[in-house]
């Protein structure tokens, strides 16, 4: 068994789990009971679920996922969760059930070089002014407390309406508006004094080399999970790898360079 310092850190994002996507759920469960057991830690960078209306609305799928994450944490791999734009209402009750720790972004990874920060990614999409106004409103504690005080049936209707409205609005937006803003990215590197930034949200996996005030920096974007195909970033030593998680012809998990 490798020492803790020799084990990789794994990052995942944008799984969008829901009952109608059993292949993605199965892939995650096998990842948690397999490759993730070899990790020093696992960070989930938001949108673990397609929708979340409050911890009291956790269904069988959410309970299954919580049990699997809890087993991973109990086996010695700490799990950390950064809320996304779909599951920002995940609360302490669910995190406790899953044995994972909720974190507020940006998260700076300690003891890792180059200096690395993690965010979900939606805060960088500043060209989408309409969305940023929405984000500011729904992330406010008073708004969340008011919504969570409503009955479950009301919150389900609200979530359904919000998803429909979001789809209609996004259809009319240019793709570049919903991607990260270069100036927002630059400010993030400057304010945090980092050399590496990892995020999800945009569903545009890739590695981007940047020059920030004369410093060589990198932005790594996680992809979303769909079917039996997932996106994983592995950090080990100074190295970073963007990987595709899938199954081989025998149904066994494999992680290959993206």
- Kindly give, in sequence order, each residue whose CB lies less than 8 Å from that of residue 40, ignoring residues fewer than 6 positions away: 4, 5, 7, 8, 9, 77
pLDDT at residue 188, rounded to an integer: 98
Buried/exposed code over 199-223 (b: 16+ C-beta within 10 A; e: otherwise): bbbbbebeeeebebeeeebbbbbbb
Residue 231: phi and psi, rounded to 5, are -120, 130
Paired sense of beta strands 206-212 and 215-221, if any: antiparallel
DSSP-derived letter for residue 69 is: H
pLDDT at residue 4, rounded to an integer: 55
- C-alpha 240/C-alpha 21 separation (Å) is 29
pLDDT at residue 172, rounded to an integer: 66
Cα first-last separation, the chain: 27
Residue 217, CA distances (Å) to 90, 188, 238 in order: 32, 12, 13
156-165 contacts, C-beta under 8 A, 24 or more apart: 156/53, 156/57, 158/53, 159/51, 159/53, 163/51
Q: What CATH number does domain 4-127+174-257 carry, 3.90.1150.10, 3.40.350.10, 3.60.21.10, 3.40.50.10420?
A: 3.60.21.10
User: What pairs with residue 68 in β-bridges?
Assistant: none
Residue 199: phi and psi, rounded to 5, are -150, 170
Q: What does each of the 258 residues of the chain score in pLDDT, given as a tens digit?
A: 455 568 999 999 999 999 999 999 999 999 999 999 999 999 999 999 999 999 999 999 999 999 999 999 999 999 999 999 999 999 999 999 999 999 999 999 988 899 999 999 999 999 999 999 999 999 999 999 999 999 999 999 999 998 887 777 777 677 777 799 999 999 999 999 999 999 999 999 999 999 999 999 999 999 999 989 999 999 999 999 999 999 999 999 999 999
Helix 60-74 / helix 22-33 crossing angle, nearest 10 deg: 10
Of 217, 189, 188, 220, the residue nearest 204 (C-alpha): 220
């Amino acid at each position: 068994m490798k020492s803790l310092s020799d084990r990789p850190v794994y990052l995942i994002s944008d799984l969008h789990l829901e009952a109608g996507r059993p292949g993605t759920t199965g892939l995650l469960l096998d990842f948690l009971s397999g490759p993730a057991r070899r990790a020093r830690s696992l960070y989930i960078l938001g949108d673990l679920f397609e929708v979340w209306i409050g911890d009291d609305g956790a269904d069988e799928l959410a309970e299954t996922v919580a049990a699997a994450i809890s087993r991973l944490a109990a086996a010695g791999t700490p799990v950390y969760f950064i809320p996304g734009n779909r599951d920002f209402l995940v609360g302490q009750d669910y995190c406790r059930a899953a044995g994972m720790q909720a974190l507020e972004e940006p998260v700076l990874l300690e003891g890792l070089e180059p200096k690395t920060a993690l965010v979900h990614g939606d805060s960088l999409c500043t060209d989408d002014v309409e969305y940023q106004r929405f984000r500011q409103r729904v992330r406010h504690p008073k708004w969340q407390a008011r919504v969570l005080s409503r009955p479950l049936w009301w919150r389900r209707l609200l979530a359904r309406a919000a998803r429909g409205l979001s789809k209609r609005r996004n259809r009319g937006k240019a793709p570049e508006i919903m991607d990260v803003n270069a100036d927002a990215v630059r400010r993030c590197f400057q304010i945090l004094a980092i050399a590496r930034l990892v995020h999800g949200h945009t569903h545009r996996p890739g590695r981007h080399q940047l020059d920030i005030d004369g410093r060589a920096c990198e932005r790594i974007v996680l992809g979303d999970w769909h079917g039996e195909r997932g996106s994983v970033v592995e950090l080990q030593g100074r190295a970073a790898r963007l990987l595709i998680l899938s199954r081989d012809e025998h149904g066994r998990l494999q992680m290959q360079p993206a």
